[in-house]
Structure 1
Amino acid sequence: MMRYKWKPFVQYGQKRKRSKGEILYSQGEIGKGFYYLAEGKISFRLLSEDGKERIIDYLLEGFLFGEQGVSSDAYYITAVADTDVSLYYFSNESFIKISRAHPYANEIFISSIISKMRMLTETYAFLSKPYEQQMAHFLILLCEKYGSQTVPITQIDLAQYIGTSRITVYKIIQKWTKSKLIFQGNRMIEVIDPLGMKAVSEQA
């Protein structure tokens, strides 16, 4: 579980606040550092070769993001503030200081990168799948990330994630609710049957 593991090192970073809708960095932009989200919610968006943009992940407080910037590589996705956010920015120099003072921080950082690459690889694999499978896969990932069967997500969020209409998402939600796979509350979804949801994501 990676959430909050970087919190002990926030004193090395520069605290920043950004407003809802602001772009924190863009796909293809050369990075010079990385971030830790202290408060708020961020969406990650991917621009495909055909020019279509879609949300591929959401991030809540307690996680690192933009890690590829530490080696001055290009960011492979765009990060947008979905709410007003409070975050810490870490330059390459500050990362070196953290690594020297706290060697175990490198393990946390590398684990965070691996989890992001896994997420991106799995997302690419599901882009051509039916909408219901994509939604099921996304909910499973969110449950794993936050260590809970209840995740903060709306039908609008899901529609943006799989690149379809809210009506399509509504129909799938209703189907899952009747099948007792999920319970939908106010801006949240509880996965009642994780094994059943996994079966949906893996169906042929």
Structure 2
Amino acid sequence: MIRYKWEPFVKYGHKRLRCKGDTIYSQGEKGEGFYYLSEGVICIRLFSEGGKERIIDYMLEGSIFGEQGVSNEPYTVTAIADTDVVIYYFPTESLKEICSRHPEAKEIFISSQISKLRMLTETYAILNKPFEQQMAHFLIQLCKKHNSQSLPISQIALAQYIGTTRITVYKIIQKWTKKNLVLQSKQKIEVIDIPGMKALLDQ
């Protein structure tokens, strides 16, 4: 688990409070540092060449994000506050200072980068799959991130995840409910059969 391992180093960062809906950084914007999410949830969105927007990840508190910024490269995604958030900004020079004083910080930062690259690779690989398989993939990933099978996500957010309509998501959820794969309540989906969801990915 990488979450919270960066917490000891927040004293080197610049504390920032952002409101729900605020953009932390935008796709294509050149970065000059990275962020640590202390409180709240960050939504990561991707805009395709055709201008279509989709959610590809949620960052939970205790997570590093925006690592591309330390290389002064343009961000490949957009980060938006999904709730009111408390974040810490670390300019590139701060990372160098932290790693100099705390050698273990370098491994934590690199591990976070690797996990993001792996997630993006898996996401791009699933983009052309049927919507049902895309939904199964993203719900499984969210279960891992939250360490819970009860997920605070709406059908509208799921539709943005896979780039389809809420009606398509509704039909898939109804199908899964009949198969006892999930239970749904308002603004929440509970995955009750993880092996069954994984089996959908092999179809």
- TM-score by structure 1 length? 0.95
What residue is the counterpart of 2:138 in the other structure?
Answer: 138
Deviations along 1:118-170, one digit per CA (max 9) or x if unpaired, are 11111111111111100000011111222222222111110111111111111
Residue in structure 2 matched with residue 191 of structure 1 by the alignment: 191
Residue deviations 1:154-195 (CA, integer Å, cap 9, x gap): 111101111111111111111111211112234222221111
What is the match of residue 77 of structure 2? 77
Alpha-carbon distance in 2 for matches of 1:83, 1:130:
30
Which residue matches 1:151?
A: 151
Say whether 1:48 aligns with 2:48.
yes
Please give the alpha-carbon distance, in whole angstroms, between the structure 1 residues aligned to 2:36 and 2:189.
25
Indicate if the aligned counterparts of 1:3 and 1:146 stay in contact, CA closer than 8 A. no
Match of 1:180 in 2: 180
What CA distance in whole angstroms lies between the structure 2 residues aligned with 1:47 and 1:192? 32
Aligned position for 1:59: 59
AA paired with 2:40?
Answer: G
2:35 paired residue number? 35
Aligned identity (percent) is 68
Check conservation: 1:68, 1:74, Cα contact below 8 A: yes
Unaligned runs of 5+ in 2: none
Q: Tell me by how many angstroms 1:105 deviates.
A: 1.0
| Secondary structure in structure 2 of the residue aligned to 1:202 | coil
Partner of 1:87: 87
CA contact (8 A) 1:34 1:67 kept: yes
Deviation of the 1:99 alpha carbon: 0.5
User: Alpha-carbon deviations, 1:66-101, whole Å to 9, x = none?
Assistant: 001112111110111122111010111211121011
Checking the alignment, whether the CA contact within 8 Å between 1:20 and 1:85 is kept in structure 2 is yes
Q: 2:125 aligns to what?
A: 125
TM-score, normalisation: structure 2: 0.95
In structure 2, distance between residues paired with 1:71 and 1:172? 41
- Aligned-partner SS, 2:2: coil
Aligned positions, number: 203
Measure, in 2, the Cα distance between the counterparts of 1:200 and 1:12. 45
